[in-house]
Amino acid sequence: MSKIYIFDTTLRDGEQVPGCQLTTVEKIEVAKELELLGVDIIEAGFPISSPGDFQSVVEISKAVSAPTICALTRAVQGDIDCAVQALQYAKHKRIHTGIGASDFHILHKFNSTREKILERGVEAVKYAKKFVEDIEFYAEDAGRADNAFLAQMIEAVIAAGATVVNIPDTNGYCLPDQYGAKIKYLMDNVKNIDKAIISVHCHNDLGLATANSIAGVINGARQIECTINGIGERAGNTSLEEVAMVLKTHKSLGHHTDINSKKIYALSGMVSRLMRMPVQPNKAIVGKNAFAHSSGIHQDGVLKHRENYEIINPDDVGVFESSIILTARSGRAAIKHRLEKLGYNLETINIDEFYERFLVFADEKKDNVNDQDLVMLMGGTDDNISSKGIKVTLVQVVCGEPLRPMATVKLKINEVEHEASASGNGPVDAAIKAIDEILNKKIKIEEFVIQAITGGSNDVSKVNMQVNYNSQLYYGFGISTDIVVASVNAYIDAVNKVI
């Protein structure tokens, strides 16, 4: 098994997306998580581009020690000087310099010639090498470059000191076999190629970034440049989670990465939240539906044996379990599974009769049937589920500007009333903290969704909550015209299933 280096550029190429800019503190948070994820190189920014980017490279270099910290430059001495400064605190540092390699870029971007561009590339590498040992050279738009010229350029920059050569498909143009053949051509025609690592950097304009990166690896590349959730300019970059899981799933390729895949899902959520960039529901590996099954045949198959319809164990990427989405296409197996999760005793339910009612409702709703709908169909309220559980007898909050929100909650547990007060960053947070004080259990909210029903200010809120206790997920929901009460009810509903 040979190792494939994972070069994460979420904080550079990923962060170039308009509207996705992070503060330095947020970048440090992401960088620390990338370190825990096990990436080998973090491209922390393009220091000459702005004082903020410069500062981020400085601070990430201080905060993170295991991965190599990389800074991007153009083939310009001022850029390189700036990158050297920004990397001064990095334990392991790399400068990533380069220039256009396609005739298109040479002519229409640089208004130059192949010879002059090659010379500039070589000069940049030689200059950067005076300060930093680890130099990566990028041949921009290599995807559309002439292979013979590209090989000449790569040979020259390796001779000048480049330790890694990046062959970007900058415009996401190549087909997998073309890109793979390009890497093979370099492996076969660059005399000193054994002195450097070939890196693949693919964009996703045709949805081929992952396929192209893997084609590159199959043909000799040893480093993949990628981003969390595949974020990046236009259609994005190669997504880290996809290439990591392709290599893990297809062991026959003979490669491995140091990625701790169990951390993927949480980091995907963090990047999505911080960058305000939602993950598309059908996104491979990290999309909300990546492990969700909605048709009756698939649900039944998954419940019988997960691998009937899942090639990746959700647990391997940090997703606790596959989800069974209830729709009009769901079968009895899925409904029984869900009712059981909600705490119902199946022995007391006529499933056939319930299923008929479920189908009529699901057809009318034309959307997923959620837990609250099931409870309603069961003809009850939350009390039906856990009549012996904890009861909320009082919720009182004080909030508003400039007060720190405070909540007092009373719970009846085994007929004994308990009371606690707490403050929080909002009234819901304060109320949940007060409950936690009474319960004294390590319960973590994983998902918290508030939905309005009619849209007016007198609306009824539905709260769906997912909590984690001892690595098991429990669902709860609550409904009220008071958003805090609905949230408290949802939390207690989930807690009742825990206990």
Which residues bind to ligand KIV, rule: CB under 6 A?
13, 138, 140, 166, 168, 170, 201, 203
182/203 with CB nearer ligand KIV:
203
Report, in Å, the least distance between residue 76 CB and ligand KIV.
13
Binding mask 1-40 for Zn ion (x = CB under 5 A): ------------x---------------------------
- Beta strands, E only, 298-390: 323-324
Residue 455 — left, alpha, or beta (φ > 0 → left; ψ -120 to 50 → alpha)? Answer: left
338-344, long-range: CB < 8 A, 24+ apart: 338/371, 338/374, 339/374, 339/378, 341/474, 341/475, 341/497, 342/371, 342/374, 342/375, 342/385, 342/475, 342/497, 343/385, 343/386, 343/496, 343/497, 344/378, 344/384, 344/385
Report, in Å, the least distance between residue 101 CB and Zn ion.
13
Number of residues that bind Zn ion (CB under 5 A): 1
Report, in Å, the least distance between residue 378 CB and ligand KIV.
54
**Closest by Cα among 388, 378, 381 to 355:** 378
Report, in Å, the least distance between residue 63 CB and ligand KIV.
24
H/E element, 447: strand 444-452
Beta-bridge mates of residue 71: 45, 95
229/386 with CB nearer ligand KIV:
229
Our finding on whether 136 is near Zn ion (CB under 5 A) is no
- Which tokens sit at 458? 């007198």
| Residue 40 interaction partner, one of ligand KIV, Zn ion, none, beta carbon < 5-8 Å per kind | none
| Residue 140 interaction partner, one of Zn ion, ligand KIV, none, beta carbon < 5-8 Å per kind | ligand KIV
200/247 with CB nearer Zn ion:
200
Helices (H) and strands (E) in the chain, counts: 17, 18
Half-sphere exposure of 6 (CA within 13 A, CB side): 28
| Residue 166 interaction partner, one of ligand KIV, Zn ion, none, beta carbon < 5-8 Å per kind | ligand KIV
Residue type, 283: K
Chain position whose Cβ is nearest to Zn ion: 13
| Residue 138 interaction partner, one of Zn ion, ligand KIV, none, beta carbon < 5-8 Å per kind | ligand KIV
Report, in Å, the least distance between residue 10 CB and ligand KIV.
12
Report, in Å, the least distance between residue 142 CB and ligand KIV.
8
Q: What are phi and psi of 225, to 5 degrees?
A: -100, 130
Task: Point out which residues bind Zn ion (CB under 5 A).
Answer: 13
